[in-house]
């Protein structure tokens, strides 16, 4: 033991985070990541291990810091929308939505009913796609390789719908301030209906593979229990909070984009372990399907963009015939619009939790301050709490169950 001693100056940054035993050589410090198959991106963890038991787990983030907030402040409001997709890249449409909701609140812009319903459909499809990536990778981490293949098969169906709407699989930026970029093409409704028809059977398929699988239960039951109090204290939101027994969902608590029109439940569990979080997310996919079904059935006809020309560019056809439309088009794309001084905070329920954006305007065409309240960042904070006392192998399950997206954590 004597030859294994860590000098404290090598641990200047983390010395106060590890226990005394590490300095005496009783526990081992181990680096995990940033390149590691189970960290879901570029997360680095410093582990203090007693044998195989995690004594301390210190996340080191910032390996994907992109400076998105500052970059958005150098662009006009509408042009900055392309940046939002690249934050949480599994919830691209949802990021667009919250940013556009914030702008609409800032300048008092109306959104047509059809655009609101289409937004709901796209965001719920995106939620399913995001949960599918979570389920696929979580299964992969826990040695259920086939989950990955099955989940990505269904995800491709959603990606095809996204491509149909926005011309791009992931970063479509089809939600714009004041509505949608353009109306959905003719085959959209049929494609979504087909997905709704097929998908419930597929969820059953996943559940047959996992829900009562003894290997899966062994790896997830009673692993990483998060109590209700701790969840609330650490600011955890989304499926993690709901699996700990708090029925908090922004779609119900503070409805936006017409969620109050749809009938759906908030799935909750009381155990707060990895298995409970799995059950919550599986049920959420079913609820998303219900919302999509209702939104499709009630889909109103009409315009998909606001008619307020001070903020929303006129359609292409108008530019050729109306001088005023040409002026608006030119002004909006060279200067952008100018909100009055003020600040807004707007939040939506992303697949990971409360995704909020704070916009501050100083009366110029560019935002003075953009700040994102990202759910992954806050949810990741409970990882040390969850990991304490578990084995290293369980840590893999825990990183998966938090469902972090490093783009969302680091921005």
Partner 1 sequence: MGVEQKLGNLGVATMKLEQAVNWARTNAMWPMLFGLACCAIEMMSAQAANYDLSRFGMELMRASPRQSDLMIVAGRVSRKMAPVLRRLYDQMPEPKWVISMGDCASCGGVFNNYAIVQGVDEVVPVDVYVAGCPPRPEALIHGIITLHEKVRGEKITG
Q: Under the rule (CB under 8 A), what is the footprint of partner 1? A: 34-37, 41-42, 62-68, 70-71, 82-83, 86, 89-90, 133, 136-137, 148-150, 152-153, 155-156, 159, 169-171, 406-407, 410
Q: Report which DSSP code applies to 261.
A: G
Kindly tell me which of 137 and 379 has the beta carbon lying closer to partner 1.
Answer: 137
Q: Cβ of residue 95: shortest distance to partner 1, in angstroms?
A: 12
Kindly tell me which of 88 and 249 has the beta carbon lying closer to partner 1.
Answer: 88
Alpha-carbon distances, residue 295 vs 136, 142, 181, 315 (angstroms): 27, 36, 19, 26
Q: Which two tokens stand for residue 264?
A: 């759906």
CA angle 34, 221, 52 (to 5 degrees): 50
Kindly tell me which of 206 and 275 has the beta carbon lying closer to partner 1.
Answer: 206
Q: Cβ of residue 395: shortest distance to partner 1, in angstroms?
A: 15
Q: Cβ of residue 208: shortest distance to partner 1, in angstroms?
A: 18
Q: Which two tokens stand for residue 133?
A: 């990536």
Alpha-carbon distances, residue 267 vs 271, 276, 294 (angstroms): 13, 10, 18
Kindly tell me which of 170 and 385 has the beta carbon lying closer to partner 1.
Answer: 170
Q: Cβ of residue 323: shortest distance to partner 1, in angstroms?
A: 33
Bond before 34 cis per omega within 30 degrees: yes
Alpha-carbon gap, residue 348 to 172, rounded angstroms = 19
Q: Cβ of residue 39: shortest distance to partner 1, in angstroms?
A: 10
Q: Which of 284, 300, 305, 274 is nearest to 401 (CA)?
A: 274
Kindly tell me which of 31 and 208 has the beta carbon lying closer to partner 1.
Answer: 31
Q: Cβ of residue 406: shortest distance to partner 1, in angstroms?
A: 7
The answer to whether the beta carbons of residues 17 and 58 sit under 8 Å apart is yes
Q: Report which DSSP code applies to 181.
A: S
Kindly tell me which of 309 and 411 has the beta carbon lying closer to partner 1.
Answer: 411
């Amino acid at each position: 033991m004597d030859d294994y001693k860590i000098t404290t100056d090598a641990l200047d940054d983390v010395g106060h985070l590890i226990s005394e035993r590490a300095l005496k050589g009783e526990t081992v410090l181990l680096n995990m990541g940033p390149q590691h198959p189970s960290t879901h991106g570029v997360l680095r963890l410093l582990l203090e291990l007693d044998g195989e038991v995690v004594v301390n787990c210190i996340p080191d983030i910032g390996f994907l810091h992109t400076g998105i907030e500052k970059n958005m402040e150098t662009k006009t409001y509408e042009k900055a929308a392309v940046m939002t997709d690249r934050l949480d890249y599994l919830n691209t449409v949802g990021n667009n939505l919250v940013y556009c909701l914030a702008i609409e609140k800032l300048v008092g812009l109306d959104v047509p009913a059809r655009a609101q319903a289409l937004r709901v459909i796209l965001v719920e499809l995106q939620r399913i796609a995001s949960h599918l990536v979570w389920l696929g990778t979580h299964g992969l981490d826990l040695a259920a390789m086939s989950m990955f293949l099955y989940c990505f098969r269904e995800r491709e169906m959603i990606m095809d719908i996204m491509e149909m709407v926005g011309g791009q699989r992931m970063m479509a930026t089809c939600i714009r301030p004041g509505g949608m970029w353009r109306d959905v093409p003719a085959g959209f409704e049929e494609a979504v209906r087909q997905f709704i028809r097929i998908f419930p059977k597929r969820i059953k398929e996943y559940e047959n593979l996992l829900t009562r699988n003894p290997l899966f239960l062994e790896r997830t039951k009673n692993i990483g229990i998060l109590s209700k109090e701790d969840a609330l204290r650490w600011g955890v939101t989304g499926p993690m909070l709901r699996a700990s027994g708090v029925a908090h969902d922004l779609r119900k608590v503070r409805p936006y984009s017409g969620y109050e029109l749809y009938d759906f439940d908030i799935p909750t569990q009381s155990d707060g372990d990895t298995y409970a979080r799995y059950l919550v997310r599986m049920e959420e996919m079913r609820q998303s399907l219900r919302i999509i079904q209702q939104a499709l059935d009630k889909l109103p006809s009409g315009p998909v963009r606001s008619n307020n020309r001070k903020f929303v560019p006129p359609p292409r056809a108008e530019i050729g015939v109306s001088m005023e439309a040409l002026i608006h088009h030119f002004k909006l794309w060279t200067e952008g619009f100018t909100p009055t001084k003020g600040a807004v905070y707007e939040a939506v329920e992303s697949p990971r939790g409360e995704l909020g954006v704070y916009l501050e305007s100083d009366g110029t065409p560019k935002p003075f301050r953009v700040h994102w309240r990202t759910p992954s960042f806050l949810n990741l904070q409970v990882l040390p709490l969850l990991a304490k006392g578990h084995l290293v192998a369980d840590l893999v399950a825990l990183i998966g169950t938090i469902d972090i997206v490093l783009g969302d954590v680091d921005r």
